[in-house]
Amino acid sequence: MSMPAEPLAQVLEEARRKGKLRAERFGDLAYLRLTDDLRRVPRGTVVHGGEAVYGYPRIGRILHLARGLREQFRHPVWVEEKIDGYNVRICRLGGRPVALTRGGFVCPFTTDRLPELLDLRLLEEEPDLVICAEVAGPENPYLEGGPPFIPEDVQLFVFDLMRRGRPGFLPREEVYARVEAYGLPAVPRYGRHGLEEVAALRALMKRLEEKGAEGIVLKEDAPEGRRAKYTTAYACVQDLRAGADAFTDLPPEYFTGRILRLALYLEEQGYAGEALEQVQRRLGAALVEGLLDAVARFRREGRVAQVYRCRLRSREAAEALLAHLRAGAGHAMRIVQRELRREGEHWRLVFERQPPSLNGLLGHLLRGGLVYD
Amino acid sequence: MSMPAEPLAQVLEEARRKGKLRAERFGDLAYLRLTDDLRRVPRGTVVHGGEAVYGYPRIGRILHLARGLREQFRHPVWVEEKIDGYNVRICRLGGRPVALTRGGFVCPFTTDRLPELLDLRLLEEEPDLVICAEVAGPENPYLEGGPPFIPEDVQLFVFDLMRRGRPGFLPREEVYARVEAYGLPAVPRYGRHGLEEVAALRALMKRLEEKGAEGIVLKEDAPEGRRAKYTTAYACVQDLRAGADAFTDLPPEYFTGRILRLALYLEEQGYAGEALEQVQRRLGAALVEGLLDAVARFRREGRVAQVYRCRLRSREAAEALLAHLRAGAGHAMRIVQRELRREGEHWRLVFERQPPSLNGLLGHLLRGGLVYD
């Protein structure tokens, strides 16, 4: 990521004129949030006290490892595991550490759990740092399910450091040094690889496949180096299974993109015979079982609601989370609290995201409606 | 289909103003073709000598048989097999029988083969009749492959009769009487069924599944009765396999629509255990093998061309067909003749539809390009 071409103040002024800079509040903390990419300043950039926390830039995906390495990079790459969760930037804002979502909201859930997720001394010693991390696990308020190697609750995985007021990341060595020094939970690191080390990276992908990991992120070892992600067959199939719940609401590219990604992966990794057949079976089962499950729930409940569970440290945080989710849900989607009760050290929250009852294409079709295609 | 609300002349005048009425030629035959639906007059309506051959109206699809029967119909339905081919309307135009495509072009291939495909005496005795039929088989110029029960060449299957100058169809009994009287090749008929006969129709679908048939068309036994189609799991899987060739060029809804259709079919037909797993395997294999095959061809040839073979009675017809296909192909698609030679009674034509070399998303990805999703 390189420096924006124009001074930030100018970009923010343009954003304000275009209605892309929104005023938000979190408790007594007031901040501004950039709602869309604008002149190389990423969506989700947050402004507080005249200073910006830059948004986390999007990382492009390669679908062919060997060709992608040659095409995208000029220098060796640091290889890190990609974790299937949601992205946060952790920084001090108004004197306290908060976690910002990709879109630039303070996340009431992650912010509440921060002291349990990582040691925050780093932010005290270097208060202008922004810790970029993935939060993943079966009990989170945004995504159904999580990586198979996280048995409960959520875990946090640091993968980048930025500085307040500056776009771009700290060099890998500086990130890794702080991860070590502060014992920060971090994404698994798989070292620095030359662009010709395709065989080693393919072998790594096979191991990640067996672990049920999402894939890798490649970070070029150069100032303002390029980045790319590359994901496993496992991740494709999991996404397809999870997406089947909302099959008629998700964009169709959600499904076709992952099917294509899967096929190109199997081709490059040389899947054949029984190994290939096994993935084909899993693909077919993910789509069909996912849809049959959604239909069964639709018949039982008149809708396919998604159920989320998570743990928080206080009732207030749980209520702030529900309010945050309600504000972000489309007008047709309801966020319905199912449970909120003390459980040991935590408050356990269970809630549903409910699409309107009997609505949409699935309802139309199950009622015997016609489609023209 | 009911009468258009406005007199045809008025609709044609509006179509002309809107640029939706095109002048076409087939040899020395000049005719007009409606390029889009307009005020209930279907796309593909052809006008010659001041008289219209109405377009074949689209038939909606139900994805749930039992509910669809109740929802769409008030009277018993005639059930006919749906054949996986292309739709033609055969009628006399300028003194000779021609076959019109769905879009309203004279089809050089079908028109050439008409005397071999059906007995045309009916059109001599009732010159205002329009015979609606499906042409299917492995050797046709429009679709890759064909039903497994047609071993070679093409066959024609009559399913409706219309009259020139009038929208709407002749009653079933009158269609069936002429099919019998003239020994016309026709779609298999499965009789007249009450709307409560769901079990019988589900059993029929199981037999069609085993035969490798596309499905059924339900035609309400009432004046201007409604219609709906309902298709097999076999057809879904076949379409997905065939579509994999052009995976990145087809609209993604092509794939998601068929996956959804398949799942709802399996649910209603009560597939479980080994039968369900078998369909899941076939679904996974259709998608993955189809894409792997396309990638292999792309690597070998720099593109994924589709190869078509067909037989015609004359060299002139073959050349007219190529000219027709070239006129209809987008500017990026090339129609390349591979073979044109006598073979017994026929001329054998082999040609390719070639997308531009190394173009498009698949090429980008295989060269190591990035996508942002």
DSSP-H helix ranges across chain A: 8-17, 65-72, 108-117, 121-125, 172-182, 198-211, 233-243, 252-268, 273-301, 315-328, 360-366
Give me B183's structure tokens: 């020994």
Q: Which residues of A touch B291 (CB under 8 A)?
A: 259-260, 263-264, 267
Give me A158's structure tokens: 């640091």
Give the span between the Cα atoms of B122 and B127, in whole angstroms: 8
Q: Which residues of A touch B366 (CB under 8 A)?
A: 63-64, 67, 264
Determine contact: B366 vs chain A, CB below 8 A: yes
Residues A85, A130 contacting (CB under 8 angstroms): no
Q: Where on the phi/psi map is residue A273: left (φ > 0), alpha (ψ -120 to 50), or beta?
A: left
Is it the case that residue A357 has pLDDT exceeding 90?
Answer: no
Determine contact: A370 vs chain B, CB below 8 A: yes
DSSP-H helix ranges across chain B: 8-17, 65-72, 108-117, 121-125, 172-182, 198-211, 233-243, 252-268, 273-301, 315-328, 360-366
Answer whether A372 sits within 8 Å of B58, measured CB to CB: yes
Q: Determine whether A50 is exposed, middle or buried from the number of CB atoms within 10 Å of its CB (0-12, 13-18, 19+).
A: exposed
pLDDT at B3: 52
Is it the case that residue B299 has pLDDT exceeding 50?
Answer: yes
Put simply, the chain A residues between 259 and 278 with a CB less than 8 A from any chain B CB are 259-260, 262-264, 266-267, 276-277
Give me A30's structure tokens: 């007031």
Q: Which residue has the tokens 């040899």?
A: B27
Give me A218's structure tokens: 């490649």
Stronger pLDDT, B182 or A50, i.e. the higher one: B182
pLDDT tens-digit readout, A204-257 = 999 999 999 999 999 999 999 999 999 999 999 999 999 988 898 889 999 999
Given pLDDT bands bounded at 50, 70 and 90, which one contains residue B295?
very high
Q: Which residues of B touch A293 (CB under 8 A)?
A: none
Answer whether B252 sits within 8 Å of A256, measured CB to CB: yes
Is it the case that residue A1 has pLDDT exceeding 50?
Answer: no
Mutate to test the interface with A, among B288, B300, B304 (most CBs of A within 10 A): B288
- DSSP 3-state of A274: helix
DSSP B169-214: B--HHHHHHHHHHHT--B--EEEEE-TT-HHHHHHHHHHHHHHT--
pTM of the predicted structure, to 2 decimals: 0.92
Q: Which residues of A touch B228 (CB under 8 A)?
A: 370
Q: Which residues of A5-28 are buried (b: 16+ CB within 10 A; e: fewer)?
A: eeebeebbeebeeeebbeebebee
Give me B85's structure tokens: 């081919």
Report the residue from A63, A367, A373 with minimal CB separation from B257. Answer: A373
Put simply, the chain A residues between 138 and 177 with a CB less than 8 A from any chain B CB are none
Determine contact: A20 vs chain B, CB below 8 A: no
- DSSP 3-state of A277: helix
pLDDT at B358: 55
Q: What percent of chain B has pLDDT over 90?
A: 86
Q: Where on the phi/psi map is residue A270: left (φ > 0), alpha (ψ -120 to 50), or beta?
A: left
Q: How many CB atoms within 10 Å of residue B343?
A: 10
DSSP B76-116: -EEEEEEPSSEEEEEEEETTEEEEEETTS-B-HHHHHHHHH
Give the span between the Cα atoms of A160 and A170, in whole angstroms: 7
Is it the case that residue B223 has pLDDT exceeding 60?
Answer: yes
- Alpha carbon separation from B201 to A239, A364, B61, B287, B316 (Å, rounded): 36, 21, 16, 29, 46
Is it the case that residue B360 has pLDDT exceeding 60?
Answer: yes
Give me the total of CB pairs closer than 8 Å, taking one residue from chain A and one from chain B: 173
Given pLDDT bands bounded at 50, 70 and 90, which one contains residue A332?
confident
Is it the case that residue B38 has pLDDT exceeding 70?
Answer: yes
Mean pLDDT of B95-115: 97
Give the span between the Cα atoms of B248 and B245, in whole angstroms: 9
Put simply, the chain A residues between 67 and 96 with a CB less than 8 A from any chain B CB are 67-72
Report the residue from B228, B281, B288 with minimal CB separation from A370. Answer: B228
- DSSP 3-state of B2: coil
- Candidates A206, A240, A190, A215; CA nearest to A79 is A190
Stronger pLDDT, A357 or B114, i.e. the higher one: B114
Is it the case that residue B254 has pLDDT exceeding 80?
Answer: yes
pLDDT at A304: 85
Mutate to test the interface with B, among A266, A288, A289, A299 (most CBs of B within 10 A): A288
Residues B83, B119 contacting (CB under 8 angstroms): no
Residues A228, A291 contacting (CB under 8 angstroms): no
Mutate to test the interface with B, among A201, A371, A372 (most CBs of B within 10 A): A371
Give the span between the Cα atoms of B77 and B222, in whole angstroms: 9
Packed helices B233-243 and B273-301: angle between N→C axes, nearest 10 degrees: 20
Is it the case that residue A359 has pLDDT exceeding 70?
Answer: no
Q: Which residues of B179-204 are buried (b: 16+ CB within 10 A; e: fewer)?
A: beebebebbeebeebebebbeebeeb
Residues A22, A30 contacting (CB under 8 angstroms): no
pLDDT at B206: 96
Average pLDDT over chain A reads 94
Q: Which residues of B touch A64 (CB under 8 A)?
A: 365-368
Q: What percent of chain B has pLDDT over 70?
A: 98
Is it the case that residue B199 has pLDDT exceeding 50?
Answer: yes
pLDDT tens-digit readout, A112-126 = 999 999 999 999 999
Put simply, the chain A residues between 275 and 314 with a CB less than 8 A from any chain B CB are 276-277, 279-285, 287-289, 291-292, 295
Answer whether B282 sits within 8 Å of A279, measured CB to CB: no
Mutate to test the interface with A, among B1, B62, B63, B262 (most CBs of A within 10 A): B63
